[in-house]
Amino acid sequence: MRSDSVTKGMQQAPHRSLFNALGLTKEEMERPLVGIVSSYNEIVPGHMNLDKIVNAVKLGVSMAGGTPIVFPAIAVCDGIAMGHLGMKYSLVTRDLIADSTECMAMAHAFDALVMVPNCDKNVPGLLMAAARVNIPTVFVSGGPMLAGHVKGKKTSLSSMFEAVGAYAAGNMSEEDVLEYENKACPTCGSCSGMYTANSMNCLTEALGMGLGGNGTIPAVYSERIKLAKHAGMQVMEMLEKNICPRDIMTEKAFMNALTIDMALGCSTNSMLHLPAIAHEAGVELNMDIANEISAKTPNLCHLAPAGHTYMEDLNEAGGVFAVMNELNKKGLLYTDLITVTGKTVLENIKNCVNKDPEVIRPIDDPYSVTGGIAVLKGNLAPDSGVVKRSAVVPEMMIHSGPARVYDCEEDAIDAIKSGKIVKGDVVVIRYEGPKGGPGMREMLNPTSAIAGMGLGSSVALITDGRFSGASRGASIGHVSPEAAVGGPIALVEEGDIIEINIPENKLNVRISEEEMAKRKANWQPREPKVKTGYLARYAKMVTSGNRGAILEK
Residues annotated as part of the active site: 468
**Could you tell me how many residues make up the chain?**
553
**Helix ranges restricted to H, 383-483:** 409-417, 444-452
Q: What angle do CA 543, 276, 193 make, to 5 degrees?
A: 110
Spatial separation of the C-alpha atoms in residues 44 and 189, rounded to whole Å? 9
CA proximity to 201, closest of 187, 193, 376, 515: 193
What b/e string do you get for 427-437 counting C-beta neighbours within 10 Å, with b at 16 or more? bbbbbbbbbbb
CB 465 within 8 Å of CB 429: yes
β-bridge mates for residue 374, sequence order = 387
- Give the DSSP H or E segment for 517: helix 513-522
Coil, helix or strand at residue 276: helix
How many Cα atoms sit within 13 Å of 299 on the Cβ side? 21
Coil, helix or strand at residue 178: helix
The dihedral of CA 106, 109, 111, 112: what is its sign? Answer: negative
Q: Tell the burial category of 18 from Cβ atoms under 10 Å away from its Cβ (0-12, 13-18, 19+).
A: exposed
Spatial separation of the C-alpha atoms in residues 352 and 257, rounded to whole Å? 18
Spatial separation of the C-alpha atoms in residues 419 and 416, rounded to whole Å? 5
Task: Report which DSSP code applies to 370.
Answer: S
CB 301 within 8 Å of CB 314: yes
